[in-house]
Structure 1
């Protein structure tokens, strides 16, 4: 499994995820949420930030089904899905992940025929804090 590259700006995201919380960085001055995390607000240029907990609900904005050839570690699981999820609480925030049948399930656990743009999803967390997504109404 690939490990996330954790930098100083994104480290809080991964600490919260390890606790099973989906949080996004927001400007402490104007309130604008932002992802990926960065030191300066793109709206007001403030360097003040905070981490806001979300309810983890969203919708599938886009998806792709990778097929081989892939990285050798992933080829046996193909085809699997990679989804872009638009958060309900912050529609300008889009997160990339996998839609699975349950927390920690393999990447290929969901039948690709069940993927739909606009499907409502909920964030869940695999062991180690990797965010994944499940269908709200399976």
Structure 2
């Protein structure tokens, strides 16, 4: 059983639905500015670079590098499989384009800063949670 099976699910709205459901097609999507091509995450109504409002979801490669990692050994909710790796990953598309996520499919002690990872998805109810696995 994945520890994610007990993770609280995000509340979907018009601003974030694309992000939490894009995994249905196996592709991670992030907002991108049509004017300056800056990637924006988390979703926002205005581009932080050019201040324009022409943002639309676009597919990213799903490749990233682990920037930070911590191993959680604390059971915050009954039934969670421990331990698990919580990581901040930086997507290849842009410096600073980061997600807080989980690294799965590998013993937690093997997850290290600098490792290459790729997106995978865990489907729960009406969302596809982006998680990452080691890139081969």
Q: TM-score, normalising length from structure 2?
A: 0.85
Deviation digits for residues 98-135 of structure 1, max 9, x if unmatched? 1111xxxxxxxx31221110000010112342111110
Question: Is 1:36 paired with 2:35?
Answer: no
Question: Is 1:57 paired with 2:57?
Answer: no
Question: Is 1:79 paired with 2:98?
Answer: no
Q: Which has the higher strand share?
A: 2
**CA contact under 8 A between 2:75 and 2:82: conserved in structure 1?**
no
CA RMSD, Structure 1 to Structure 2 (Å): 1.5
Question: Is 1:126 paired with 2:122?
Answer: yes
Q: TM-score, normalising length from structure 1?
A: 0.84
Which runs of 5 or more residues in structure 1 are unaligned?
102-109
Aligned length: 127
**CA contact under 8 A between 1:84 and 1:97: conserved in structure 2?**
yes
